[in-house]
Amino acid sequence: MKATTSTNRAVVLLGGALLVAMIINLYLIFMLAPEERSMGQVQRIFYFHVPSAWVAFLAFFVVFIASIFYLWKKDRTYDMVAYSSAEIGVIFATLVLITGPIWARPVWNTWWEWTPRLTLFLVLWFIYLAYLMLRSFVEGEERAARFAAVFGIVGFLDVPLVYVSIRLWRDIHPSPVIAGGEGSGLHPDMKLAFFFSLFTFTLLFGFLLIYRFQLQKSTIAVSEIKKQLAY
């Protein structure tokens, strides 16, 4: 049980660091970063939107790597990492899909625009939702892990193909030009707020991943004990 207490301490430590980072992050986003000239306050959602997208990508990449390792080594730990990471990824992809339209409504004057990045995220969201559904639809832990690993690999390799095809599609049917792309000529304070937010979200991802992983471990331990008591 010694190992458990030391990981628990790590979780608490990471959680504390995260809390501090989040408070600083909120200060930077809402107090320090100047108001954007043409978009106004709504631009501040960008500090949540882009880091969420980054975390979602990171999470799906972790799913991909952990899935390969699971099929290779057959170690349950890798599967638990993949599962935890997929759940977190779907949550953050959902956040991207919610914050995007909130920003787009006043700025583009429409909730939804079929831009390459938006469409890509929608497709990603569907792929990893399928991943989670697949896991709950399969009987047997080991089998679910194998199937999910195969799907996790296929799903991630599909991402560049989806992106290339959407890009090509929009090139043929050009969308109205959107004035001033994100990231073009950011104020230094904005840059600071943005990169700090990126850091905070990555920390949040690490925290959630470890936490979810621990939770899964406990669930398995409980079901083992239940089994022993049943016989």
Partner 1 sequence: MISKVGAILWKDILSEYRTKEMLGSMVVFSLLVSVIFNFAFPPGSELMREAAPGILWMTIIFASLLGLNRSFVYEVDKGCLQGLMLAPVDRNVIYLSKALVNFIFITLVEVLVLPVFSIFFDLNVINSLLQIFLVLILSTAGVAIIGTLFSAISVNTRSREIMLPIMYFPVFIPVIFGAVQSTKAILQEQPWSVIWGWLRIVIAFDVIFLIVALLTFEFVIEE
Distance in angstroms (rounded) separating the CA atoms of residues 152 and 86:
9
User: Least separation, in Å, of the C-beta of 165 and partner 1?
Assistant: 4
Give the Cα separation of 52 and 46 in Å (integer). Answer: 10
Cα(156)–Cα(161) distance, rounded to whole angstroms? 10
Question: Nearer to partner 1 by C-beta: 147 or 211?
Answer: 147
Q: How far, in whole angstroms, is CA 34 from its chain's centroid? A: 27
Give the residues lining the site for partner 1 (CB under 8 A): 71, 123, 126-127, 130, 133-134, 137-139, 143, 146-147, 149-151, 153-155, 157-158, 161-162, 164-166, 168-169, 172
* Residue 100 or 155 having the CB closest to partner 1: 155
Query: Which residue, 35 or 142, has its beta carbon nearer to partner 1?
Result: 142
Q: What distance in Å separates the CA atoms of residue 205 and residue 22, rounded to the nearest whole number?
A: 13
| Shortest distance (Å) from residue 162 CB to partner 1 | 5
Q: Which one-letter amino acid corresponds to residue 54?
A: W
| Least distance CB 90 / partner 1 (angstroms) | 13
Structure tokens at 209: 């991943």
Q: Indicate the residue among 111 and 137 with the shorter CB distance to partner 1.
A: 137
